[in-house]
Amino acid sequence: MIHKPLSLLLVDDDEDDYLILKGLLAKITNPKIKLDWIADPNQALSVIGQGTHDIYLIDYRLGPMSGLDLLANFDLPVREQPFIILTGAGDSRLEERAMLIGAADYLVKGSFGVDLLSRVLRYSLQRKRMEIQRLQHLQEINKSKDEFISLASHQLRTPATAVKQYIGMLLEGYAGPLAEQQQSYLQSAYSSNERQLKIVDDILRVAQIDLKKLRMRPESCDITVWLRELTEDIESIMVDRKQKLVYTAPKLPIVANIDKLYLGMALTNLLDNASKYSNHETAITVSIESDTNGLLQISIQDQGVGIAADDFDKLFVKFSRIPNPVSVLVGGTGLGLYWSNEIIHLHQGKIEVSSELNAGTTFTVSLPQS
């Protein structure tokens, strides 16, 4: 069987290496291999980025940049083409590092002939094809899991909402007056049901985000006014904790395109966290400002328990809750920051955090202005 020709890109700053490889490749006929050569690593960066070759051979020594530095710019395990490292000397540590970043194989210059080269190219390609198939299979399984979660949480939502309505009717006295203890038991049932609904909603939202089904419907609005209303809505939670909410905004409007519903949920979660992870009688400051780079910044600052710098990278991970003196008392699923972060990314924005233990935390959301 005749296979279609393969294209191979050699990145190597030594012309002699190119000529030697060209000579060896000319002897490989099935499939034929078309060789392109780039000596400059910066030019190689953009050509590799386009992904037009079937296989890449990268010299370890490329002048100022090592071949591994060049490859660090690409996510090799998910790239469809194999990358092979070429080096002048057998170095087992280099071999290990190349493997760790996802290189398919390793060839020592001067120590391979046509047979070894041909075998390495064929095996690398075949292994890569199998890896990509496995990856696609895993992605399909993951998608089915998200679809199942999305469907299951939808189904759970309907009866849980009905329970809420019936308990609400009993509490309103629709079925006659209630004794004090009945009232108290029903109140507990109502709160548990509300928590259950929040968890179901969170899980549903996460499944929709992971399935990329959450669509933002942005509309233009003056964020200073909208955010003031949002903070007023959430102030009632803080009243129970005797916390004070301070809102500061410039007098002039700051206009941006936002999905009020979803961005509102994300900021409400940040405000809810600021309150939950702070002691009673503390202040939470919400401020908004616009900078000269066309961004607006919303900061939510609390005087709470704080977050250790080592824990920052866990904050936006699904189901991750960081133990602190109040996290056992206040409930939570550890999903809030995951979906808040995703919603902010869907607005082309980002969240940053700074914190000091036992002093407080500031979450800053940056969004493009219109």
Q: Work out which of 307, 343, 344, 346 binds ligand ATP, going by CB under 6 A.
A: 307
41 touches ligand ATP by CB under 6 A = no
Beta bridge mates, 35: 8
How far is the C-alpha of 135 from the C-alpha of 141, rounded, in Å? 10
Instruction: Choose from Mg ion, ligand ATP, none: what does 200 bind? Cβ within 5-8 Å by kind.
Output: none
- For Mg ion, the nearest residue by Cβ is 336
- 360 lies in the site for Mg ion, by CB under 5 A: no
Applying CB under 6 A, the site for ligand ATP has a residue count of 21
Q: Which is nearer to Mg ion, 226 or 339 (CB)?
A: 339
**Taking CB under 5 A as the criterion, which residues in 253-282 touch Mg ion?**
269, 273
* Distance separating alpha carbons of residues 203 and 319, to the nearest angstrom: 10
Residue in the structure block whose two tokens are 């920052």? 312
Q: How far is CA 193 from CA 39, 66, 153, 187, 276, in A?
A: 65, 58, 14, 10, 20
Report the site for ligand ATP in 221-250 (rule: CB under 6 A).
Answer: none
Q: Measured from the CB of residue 242, what is the shortest distance to ligand ATP in angstroms?
A: 18
Q: Please, what is the minimum distance in Å from the beta carbon of residue 277 to Mg ion?
A: 9
User: In the block, which residue shows the tokens 């401020």?
Assistant: 287
In angstroms, what is the minimal distance from the CB of 332 to ligand ATP? 3
Looking only at residues 188 through 207 of this chain, which bind ligand ATP when binding is defined by CB under 6 A?
Answer: 202
Establish if 342 lies at the interface with ligand ATP (CB under 6 A): no
Of 40-48, 211-219, 328-336, 343-351, the window that binds Mg ion (rule: CB under 5 A) is: 328-336
Q: Is the dihedral of CA 306, 314, 150, 219 positive or negative?
A: positive
Question: Binding partner of residue 183 among Mg ion, ligand ATP, none, CB under 5 to 8 Å per kind?
Answer: none
Binding residues (CB under 6 A) for ligand ATP: these are 202, 269, 273-274, 277, 302, 304-305, 307, 315, 321-322, 324, 327, 332-337, 361
Binding residues (CB under 5 A) for Mg ion: these are 269, 273, 336
